[in-house]
Structure 1
């Protein structure tokens, strides 16, 4: 699948912790997809929520250039990365475990879009058992101002000011031209992440966590996505934390955030187990 290398981290919990929480059942594999510019030390704090519950976690953040440049120009480098991440499940022999996603901002959501498409259409990956997805501070749609704020935060405070403004101007022109002015035509060649998963949402349960104070992702974009997914018949829930800044929900409300994620995971696992038992009963000959 090309020459793209992926820098990921995988954590296996101690056997005693896994047994405590999952009691002989296969523990979930939680795939965490970081926001653009996310450092692994930050993403590891989220993976700890699940490791402490006996889950396997895989952490990955897509490079800035793939999120802000390749994807904007319609070059599907993220699709190659998505394929490689799903292949890891077979490499580590956990392809029969329940799969759970935790996705952050548009950077993670763009990559999740391709993973969801592969899981629904690819012959090998379509057998993987996805039980649910948590989406944190995403998705946003055609928000140039929010995108500029995101790239500014991703580049960090040490970049030369003149270079920063040149990059922002070029990026703004590119996004405005390709993703707004010409999008009515270019969407037939490369649909953006928001429209792709609004029109064909992944079929497993989803939880959207967001804040109306977010200055990068507009809360109405998240709410419209939730409404569209629900209208497609997909189980979906959402919660507005109200005051936190972009991808700061866990930082501001660590206990409530963790509780909501773990309660949702437990619900997804119960639903999946119930569906499996129902299939087994139906398959038993009379």
Structure 2
């Protein structure tokens, strides 16, 4: 079901009222033991340029188990140019969860690539500054987070752009040069005028020491053509040293945000085991 909150378009799916939680449904033989009055809510944040029909393939694995899903992908122009809008989106999403009376439900975030991680960063910040508490039970990072690199930026923009090869290359190169200048200005500004919002547009740097300490699952690949597996491993290692319960799943061959279609059985099993562990509070 598509809906909106102050022009914020999102997609939410509720389970069928007759859903039987005591039997297997969908992928694998996994059965969740849940409180049917407080069902887990999976919030999915898509990668930059992600179309909802692709993100829906991920939410489907949760919906087949009778969980509530909420999907949202930030507009590309906000992720790359008007990035101050993302903090507002984070606040609106937190407000939405309260309006839907999900504040007492187990909340999980499943974010993809740096675009989804950037949105999660602002969502997490909004939770910290919100008047009412909202507890995250777990966070799943798929193909994220990665360090900011010009080569990675160019590839990401090129993957999003449409049109012939010449147009794609020219536009991607221009956007990369422009955004590299923006990054440079940000670094200088943060150096001269340091504040608690320093590096606010860099998910890898900011999320290293975020206040949230709920368990985190990292799904990544040695063959990722955008974010090196070493970035994810460095990040996960740092979070573990900060006292976070970290789980990692590393594939050898799957490409960026392609881990589900290329490793479906193990991917689904890993995700379900992680969520079940968080729900049961086990380590």
- Please give the range of the TM-score, normalised by the shorter of the 2 chains: 0.7 to 0.9
In the comparison of the two structures, how many residue pairs are matched? 263
Q: Which runs of 5+ in 2 are unaligned?
A: 23-31
Distance 1:55 1:120 in 2: 25
SS in 1 for 2:81: helix
The one of 12, 15, 19 aligned to 1:13: 15
Per the alignment, residue 278 of structure 2 pairs with 268
C-alpha RMSD of the superposition: 2.2
Shift of the alpha carbon at 1:222?
A: 0.7
Per the alignment, residue 113 of structure 1 pairs with 121
Q: Find out whether 1:217 has 2:223 as its counterpart.
A: no
Greater mean deviation of Cα atoms: 168-177 or 215-224: 168-177
The one of 202, 207, 210 aligned to 1:197: 207
SS in 2 for 1:53: coil
Deviation digits for residues 65-122 of structure 1, max 9, x if unmatched? 0112223xxxx21011111112221222222111001000011000000111122232
The one of 39, 46, 59 aligned to 2:71: 59
Q: Find out whether 1:183 has 2:153 as its counterpart.
A: no
SS in 1 for 2:8: coil
The one of 173, 176, 179 aligned to 2:177: 173
Higher helix share: 1
Greater mean deviation of Cα atoms: 54-63 or 13-22: 13-22
Structure 1 residues 12 and 236, CA, compared in 2 at 3 Å: closer, same or farther?
Answer: same
Q: Find out whether 1:81 has 2:83 as its counterpart.
A: no
Shift of the alpha carbon at 1:17?
A: 2.3
TM-score, normalised with respect to structure 2? 0.86
Greater mean deviation of Cα atoms: 259-268 or 161-170: 161-170
Structure 1 residues 89 and 23, CA, compared in 2 at 3 Å: closer, same or farther?
Answer: closer
Is the CA contact (8 Å cut-off) linking 2:41 and 2:106 kept in structure 1? Answer: yes
Distance 2:205 2:78 in 1: 19
Structure 1 residues 23 and 89, CA, compared in 2 at 3 Å: closer, same or farther?
Answer: closer
Structure 1 residues 96 and 167, CA, compared in 2 at 3 Å: closer, same or farther?
Answer: same
Is the CA contact (8 Å cut-off) linking 1:17 and 1:52 kept in structure 2? Answer: no
Distance 2:98 2:35 in 1: 23
Structure 1 residues 226 and 69, CA, compared in 2 at 3 Å: closer, same or farther?
Answer: same
The one of 122, 135, 138 aligned to 1:132: 138
Runs of 4+ in 1 over 4 A off after TM superposition: none
TM-score, normalised with respect to structure 1? 0.85
Per the alignment, residue 158 of structure 2 pairs with 152
SS in 1 for 2:18: helix
Distance 2:276 2:241 in 1: 24
Distance 2:72 2:186 in 1: 32
Q: Which runs of 5+ in 1 are unaligned?
A: 276-286
SS in 2 for 1:70: coil
Distance 1:165 1:230 in 2: 39
